[in-house]
Amino acid sequence: MDVGNQTVASEFLLLGLSEDPDLQPLLFRLFLSMYLVTMLGNLLIILTVSSDFHLHTPLYFFLSHLSFSDIFLNSTIVPKMLVNLQTDSKIITYADCLTQMYFSSVFGYLDNLLLTVMAFDRFVAICHPLHDTIIMNPHPSALLGLVSWSLSVLVSLLHSVMVLHLSFCTHRAIRNFFCEFAAVLKSACSDALSIYIMLYSVTGLLGIPSLTGILFSYTKIISSVLKMSSAEGKYKAFSTCGSHLTVISLLYGTGLGVYLSSAFFPSTLKWVIASMMYIVFIPMLNPCIYSLRN
């Protein structure tokens, strides 16, 4: 290692989507519009669920938490990206970068866990309707929500503490629009192998059981729905779960692709766009997918 190229990090460069100055105003308007739509849509879901007694059910309880998570995930990343686009600056301080890594990790894990719990709720409601009010009453729902939040906060804190022990090279350009963990680790001059192993192990320990639980739940749901004799019942069941499956497909398709590719390949524009999907596009889409259907 060249000691002359190693220093205490004070800032990073976020290369973003494009370095073309002519595209910056267009990108700024586009992402500002998406951010405002995301904020408005998710806030409306939270206000509607909290104000309507008929929506005080486990499904809408978890949906309001998902909206809350999406609001803070966007607010952690998008405002800084908008400032950089408007000022034509690519700099983010070391402290801001760590903050982005921590909170994007918290709300990324939280989205994953909430979608898993929502899949279980749909499984109980459709496959065991007589036991729905017993299994998914307010107390287990609150406990599942608390466990999801606690796991997300603790795991993300572990990631961030380990990154604090790294030293970084003088070249600290990140090929993304935010401080994504894997991209930041590639800028480290000190040995980050143990952190890589921990990062992908924990992601696997949380992600694989969650995805397995979701697939199991929907396999059982589809099997139960196909046994229904009523066409109207089949349509109602599939329409209820269709929105959830759409979000899951988009989230896991882009999220897993980015995390798996970042372990073996250098970051490219297509993976930056994939990150944009689950950070910006899906939180904007969630209110439309869940609310318009209802």
> 244 or 279, which is more confident?
279
Strands of 11-14's sheet in order across: 91-93, 11-14, 173-174
Least-confidence region, from 106-110, 124-128, 130-134: 130-134
First to last CA, the chain: 59
- Whether residue 6 is predicted with pLDDT greater than 80 in this model: the reply is no
Residue 148 lies in a domain: yes
> 280 or 260, which is more confident?
280
Residue 233 lies in a domain: yes
Confidence of residue 154 (pLDDT cuts 50, 70, 90): very high
Amino acid at 216: F
Beta-sheet strands, E only, within 64-172: 91-93, 168-169
The CA distance from 41 to 198, in Å, is 36
Residue 3 lies in a domain: no
How many domains are there within the chain?
Answer: 1
Confidence of residue 248 (pLDDT cuts 50, 70, 90): confident
Residue identified by tokens 């709720």 is 121
Residue 204 lies in a domain: yes
Rg (CA), the chain: 21
Beta bridge mates, 6: 169
What's the mean pLDDT in 9-29?
Answer: 80
- Whether residue 5 is predicted with pLDDT greater than 50 in this model: the reply is no
With CA atoms as reference, report the closest residue to 192 among 107, 263, 86. 263
Residue 52 lies in a domain: yes
The neighbour count for residue 91, using CB atoms within 10 Å, is 12
Q: Is residue 80 within 8 Å of residue 178, measured between CB atoms?
A: yes
What's the mean pLDDT in 258-273?
Answer: 66
Predicted pLDDT at 240: 65
Q: What is the pTM of this model?
A: 0.85
Domain membership of residue 173 as a residue range = 11-293
Q: CATH number of the domain that 172 lies in?
A: 1.20.1070.10
The CA distance from 30 to 110, in Å, is 26
What's the mean pLDDT in 53-67?
Answer: 86
pLDDT averaged over the chain?
81
- Whether residue 233 is predicted with pLDDT greater than 80 in this model: the reply is no
The neighbour count for residue 185, using CB atoms within 10 Å, is 21
Least-confidence region, from 2-11, 28-37, 206-215: 2-11
Confidence of residue 221 (pLDDT cuts 50, 70, 90): confident
What's the mean pLDDT in 67-72?
Answer: 93
Residue 68 lies in a domain: yes
- Whether residue 19 is predicted with pLDDT greater than 80 in this model: the reply is no
Predicted pLDDT at 35: 94
- Whether residue 93 is predicted with pLDDT greater than 60 in this model: the reply is yes
Amino acid at 49: V
Predicted pLDDT at 73: 92
- Whether residue 223 is predicted with pLDDT greater than 90 in this model: the reply is no
> 125 or 67, which is more confident?
67
User: What does DSSP assign to residue 189?
Assistant: S
H or E segment to which residue 239 belongs? helix 231-264
The neighbour count for residue 206, using CB atoms within 10 Å, is 17
Q: Is residue 162 within 8 Å of residue 3, measured between CB atoms?
A: no
DSSP β-ladder status, 6-7 and 11-14 = unpaired
Residue 56 lies in a domain: yes
Q: Is residue 118 within 8 Å of residue 210, measured between CB atoms?
A: no
- Whether residue 158 is predicted with pLDDT greater than 50 in this model: the reply is yes
